[in-house]
Amino acid sequence: MKYLKLLILSSLLFLVNTFADAQTKTDWKEKDQFHTVMSQTFHPAEEGNFKPIRARIDEMLSKAQAWQKSSIPSAFKNQKDIKWQLDNLVKGTQALQIKMRQGLKDEVLKSELTALHDVFHAIIGLCKE
């Protein structure tokens, strides 16, 4: 009987926790759109394939600017820090685009893209409710 009560209690706690997690995830379309481009360019670059980022740097900049201009969901506590990091993301993406047009070598490109990826993850880390 103790085992059954423990099983029921554990199941209820799991369900409550799962429901609470689902309720606190805030959608932010522009974040998701930028993430798509970042993941589809950064991960190939990690493996030495720079064609995706070279082909999509303009799209990445466009998505970064759209994210920067979008409204930060009010549920996020760190509004000022998110805004500051979004500004950094756009500036870094613009700088990368310029350098790429000037013939940036793959080794440097990988380093610069990794820095942008770090800024992206800093923003994601700030998106706490």
Asked whether 61 and 94 are in contact (CB, 8 A), the reply is yes
- Tell me the one-letter amino acid at 2: K
Burial-class residue 47 by CB neighbours within 10 Å (0-12, 13-18, 19+).
Answer: exposed
| 24-76 tens-digit pLDDT | 468 999 999 999 999 999 999 999 999 999 999 999 999 999 999 999 999 99
- Looking up tokens 């893209």, which residue turns up? 113
CATH class of 28-126: mainly alpha
The rounded distance, in Å, linking the Cα atoms of 124 and 115 is: 14
* 103 pLDDT higher than 80: yes
The rounded distance, in Å, linking the Cα atoms of 41 and 45 is: 6
For the chain, the domains span 28-126
Which letter does DSSP use for residue 70 in this model? S
104 φ, ψ (degrees, to nearest 5):
-55, 130
Confidence of residue 129 (pLDDT cuts 50, 70, 90): confident
- Looking up tokens 């099983």, which residue turns up? 7
Burial-class residue 113 by CB neighbours within 10 Å (0-12, 13-18, 19+).
Answer: buried
Ranges of beta strands (E only) in the chain are: none
pTM as predicted: 0.79
